[in-house]
């Protein structure tokens, strides 16, 4: 759900902050929605902390979820100091049982919020300025090897799922194009060009940034097969241009895709492996791993394919040619790797 749906139940200063992040800074919709949920938690805590501190000791998670924040004021926020925010982080751990990663994210949201309020002269000082997030050891992301990737494709197309042709196209794009979940569900028919002169897909990435990716034969065939069975919608339908549709002829949701991938992954990975660590993002990691490990693809080319925002200011990144990226993506993909192995 979009943060815009919660405007009536949120204080105006929160709405203005979220609109600024979404429409002025062009933040991704999913990012701004997450900001809303994080800050709603913060404001619920502040309301209790200021007006019913004893309740913080006994409140249940369900009771906490029902706290109304519409009456929280800027004056309330001006009363908060860094010590209060440290207590908030403790509350997240003890009462809400948030893990390190979640607490760090919520603290980051808190810092961005208070910085905005301070810069816009809504508060006199920034209580979050001196707070730092805890350092967390980065885990190596889970990914499928070549054998497992091939098996996942086979499991998907040979399944008894009603929409297996659509689901196969989704999986094929994930494994060959290295895109994010939100990028996949955001693909439109008008973003795809599959003809003799051009085989590309335009991806709408984070911060409304676009990038052009090149399609190999396997992906083109999967997309064509799906388009043949995809419902033909007129322009009176809101999502007539969406590539992937749900059973209700609406743009497929992130959650639906997650369910599809999860179900097929459960039939792909070994029984003794922990399924909760395998998600749609696993396929993005798998695609990158196959490109890098099997084909020794230059890391800077990979970062461009992935659309990593951090490389915008990197000089060497700008020197990666479209010609090289096109050659890599069309010839060094999971399908070509499989073909080479079968030939040998």
Positions annotated as catalytic residues are 180, 206, 281, 284, 308, 317
Distance CA 31, CA 206 (A): 9
Q: What DSSP designation does 96 have? A: S
Distances in Å between the Cα of 62 and the Cα atoms of 66, 93, 99 are 7, 16, 18
Q: What's CA 268's distance to the chain center, in Å?
A: 23
**Are 179 and 329 in contact, with CB atoms under 8 Å apart?**
no
What is the Cα gyration radius of the chain? 23
Q: SS3 for 112-180, per residue?
A: HHHHHHHHCCCCCCCCCCCCCCCCCCCCCCCCCCHHHHHHHHHHHHCCCCCCHHHHHHHHHHHHHHCCC
């Amino acid at each position: 759900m979009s943060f815009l749906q919660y405007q009536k139940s949120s204080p105006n200063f929160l709405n203005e902050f979220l609109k600024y992040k979404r429409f002025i800074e062009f933040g991704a919709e999913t990012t701004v929605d997450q900001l809303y949920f994080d800050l709603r938690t913060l404001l619920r805590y502040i309301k209790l902390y200021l007006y019913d501190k004893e309740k913080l000791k006994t409140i249940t998670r369900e009771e906490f979820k029902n706290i109304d924040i519409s009456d929280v004021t800027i004056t309330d926020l001006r009363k908060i100091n860094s010590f209060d925010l440290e207590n908030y982080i403790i509350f997240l751990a003890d009462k809400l049982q948030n893990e390190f990663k979640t607490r760090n994210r919520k603290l980051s949201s808190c810092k961005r919020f208070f910085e905005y309020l301070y810069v816009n002269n809504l508060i006199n000082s920034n209580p979050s300025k001196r707070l730092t997030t805890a350092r967390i050891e980065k885990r190596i992301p889970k990914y499928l090897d070549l054998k497992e990737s091939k098996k996942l494709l086979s499991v998907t197309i040979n399944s008894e799922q009603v929409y297996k042709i659509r689901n196969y196209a989704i999986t094929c794009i994930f494994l060959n194009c290295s895109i994010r979940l939100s990028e996949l569900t955001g693909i439109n028919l008008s973003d795809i060009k599959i003809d003799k002169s051009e085989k590309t897909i335009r991806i709408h990435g984070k911060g409304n940034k676009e990038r052009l990716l090149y399609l190999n034969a396997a992906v083109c065939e999967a997309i064509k097969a799906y388009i043949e069975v995809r419902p033909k919608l007129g322009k009176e339908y809101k999502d007539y241009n969406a590539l992937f549709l749900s059973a209700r002829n609406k743009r497929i949701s992130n959650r639906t895709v997650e369910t599809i991938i999860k179900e097929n992954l459960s039939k792909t990975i070994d029984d003794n492996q922990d399924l909760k660590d395998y998600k749609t993002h696993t396929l993005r990691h798998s695609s990158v791993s196959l490109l890098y490990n099997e084909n020794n693809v230059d890391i800077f080319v990979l970062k461009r394919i992935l659309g990593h925002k951090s490389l915008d200011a990197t000089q060497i990144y700008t020197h990666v040619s479209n010609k090289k990226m096109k050659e890599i993506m069309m010839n060094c993909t999971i399908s070509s790797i499989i073909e080479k192995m079968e030939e040998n």
